[in-house]
């Protein structure tokens, strides 16, 4: 943690000097309490998992997220955040234990998933340290990136009404739970072009996500999550991923906003089993009390299309080597209260199945979420 914090301070100083940003004026006119911003949410979940090649699971879980930011100046913010889940990079879920008091494991599971600084000026943002990902995902697609992924490094984004450019250099092996024997570097570059139309807008995007150091490395976070491993549990391939997508956002269809999207991912670091895609549609938006939304998606992702440790952790039970349907629903029941249900109807590839044949995987999640 000290290494991350010191690197954050040093890199931010160099970055600001390099781009020639003028000295910043401290917000002396505001008190400390005016400059502190805190928020969080608590999710309670009932979950069932039924699969043909293993025992079924039925469990109660929670996820707690806490965020506290401090405005150091008008443009510079120190950002920090914690979540439950024993440092799982793609999930803050923690299962309630029947034979343990909650106090015995509640605080033990909290880890920093955000710890860094952010500088914002006009249309540009610079982030240094451990930060939430900045890549755009059409209809929150998790084909390449899970919702909860954090980046560990230096990242930049330019955004206006017509385009979004994201660049970064990160080190995934700085994750607390990483068990990779060798360091891995991730270089990201993404471009999104936005075109306004009378009925809404269209987003066209592409990205390159270049991991350096996975081939011959140990399984990230203890397993390959569907990726190809050799007899010694070492990665057989590198992950040099190209992504492309299109998204249409319509303002009003039958009184509700409607979005449609499709995306593909192709890994140039593998010779075969390296392609994945998803298509999705979302109707509605939970902005006001009583609002609802529903999203349907179909995903088919081969073993080495993306890095399984960082893709969707709910669909397919996490990772790659599967195909199937996902239905996600949400209802705003109160000012800060949401009810949600997620339903997954999947099929594992034979390579991921414990019986070496394709098997069915079904998962149901019923959530109550309170934001504060």
Q: What is the pLDDT of residues 215-252, one digit of tens each?
A: 999 988 888 899 999 999 999 999 999 999 999 999 99
> Quick one: which H or E segment has residue 8?
helix 2-18
Q: What is the average pLDDT across 24-44?
A: 80
Residue 21 has pLDDT above 60, yes or no: no
> Quick one: which H or E segment has residue 14?
helix 2-18
Q: Which pLDDT band, with edges at 50, 70 and 90, does 24 fall under? A: very low
Q: Which pLDDT band, with edges at 50, 70 and 90, does 294 fall under? A: very high
Length of the chain: 372
**pLDDT value for 176:** 81
- Contact predicate 284/292, CB 8 Å: yes
Q: Using CB atoms within 10 Å of the CB of residue 234, give its burial: 0 to 12 exposed, 13 to 18 middle, 19+ buried.
A: middle
**pLDDT value for 106:** 85
Average per-residue pLDDT for the chain: 91
The model carries a pTM of 0.89
**pLDDT value for 87:** 83
Looking at residue 96, the DSSP 8-state letter turns out to be P
> Quick one: which H or E segment has residue 4?
helix 2-18
Q: Which long-range contacts (CB under 8 A, 24 or more apart) does 249-255 make?
A: 249/200, 249/201, 249/202, 249/203, 250/199, 250/200, 251/199, 251/200, 252/199, 253/283
Q: Give the separation between CA 48 and CA 30, rounded to whole angstroms.
A: 49
Between 175 and 72, residue with greater pLDDT: 72
Q: Which pLDDT band, with edges at 50, 70 and 90, does 2 fall under? A: very low
- Contact predicate 96/61, CB 8 Å: yes
**pLDDT value for 222:** 80
Q: Using CB atoms within 10 Å of the CB of residue 231, give its burial: 0 to 12 exposed, 13 to 18 middle, 19+ buried.
A: exposed
For residue 328, what are the CA distances in angstroms to 30, 132, 262, 301? 42, 22, 17, 19
Nearest 5°: CA angle at 264, between 263 and 270?
Answer: 160
Q: Using CB atoms within 10 Å of the CB of residue 195, give its burial: 0 to 12 exposed, 13 to 18 middle, 19+ buried.
A: exposed
Q: Give the separation between CA 333 and CA 317, rounded to whole angstroms.
A: 28
Least confident segment among 16-25, 260-269, 270-279, 352-361: 16-25
Residue 33 has pLDDT above 90, yes or no: no
Q: pLDDT per residue over 57-109, tens digit each?
A: 999 999 999 999 999 999 999 999 999 998 888 999 999 998 888 888 888 88
Q: What is the average pLDDT across 29-40?
A: 88
Residue 19 has pLDDT above 90, yes or no: no
């Amino acid at each position: 943690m000290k290494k991350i914090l010191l690197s954050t301070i040093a890199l931010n100083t160099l970055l600001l000097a390099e781009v020639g940003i003028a000295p910043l004026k401290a917000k002396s006119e505001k008190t400390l309490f005016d400059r502190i911003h805190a928020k969080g949410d608590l999710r309670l979940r009932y979950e069932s998992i039924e699969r043909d090649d293993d025992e079924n699971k039925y469990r109660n879980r929670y996820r707690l997220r806490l965020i506290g930011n401090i405005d150091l100046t008008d443009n510079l913010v120190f950002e920090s955040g914690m979540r439950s889940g024993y440092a799982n990079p793609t999930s803050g879920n923690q299962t309630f234990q029947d034979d343990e008091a909650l106090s015995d494991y509640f605080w033990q599971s909290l880890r920093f998933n955000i710890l860094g600084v952010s500088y914002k000026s006009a249309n540009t943002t610079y982030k240094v340290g451990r930060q939430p990902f900045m890549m755009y995902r059409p209809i929150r697609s998790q084909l390449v990136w899970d919702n909860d992924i954090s980046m560990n490094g230096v990242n930049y984004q330019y955004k206006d009404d017509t385009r979004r450019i994201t660049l970064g250099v990160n080190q995934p092996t700085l994750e607390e739970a990483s068990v990779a024997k060798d360091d891995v570097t991730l270089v990201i570059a993404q471009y999104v072009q936005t075109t306004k139309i009378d009925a809404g807008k269209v987003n066209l995007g592409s990205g390159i996500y270049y991991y350096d150091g996975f081939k011959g490395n140990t399984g990230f976070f203890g397993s390959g999550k569907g990726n190809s491993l050799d007899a010694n549990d070492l990665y057989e391939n590198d992950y040099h991923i190209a992504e492309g997508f299109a998204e249409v956002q319509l303002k009003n269809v039958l009184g509700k906003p409607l979005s449609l999207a499709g995306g593909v991912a192709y890994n140039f670091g593998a010779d075969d089993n390296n392609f994945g895609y998803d298509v999705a549609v979302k109707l509605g938006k939970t902005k006001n009390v009583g609002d609802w939304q529903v999203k349907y998606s179909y995903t088919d992702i081969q073993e080495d299309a993306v890095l399984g440790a960082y893709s969707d952790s709910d669909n397919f039970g996490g990772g790659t080597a599967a195909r199937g349907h996902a239905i996600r629903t949400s209802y705003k029941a109160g000012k800060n209260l949401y009810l949600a249900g997620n339903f997954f109807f999947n099929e594992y590839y034979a390579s991921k199945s414990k019986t070496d044949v394709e098997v069915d995987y079904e998962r149901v999640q019923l959530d109550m979420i309170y934001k504060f």
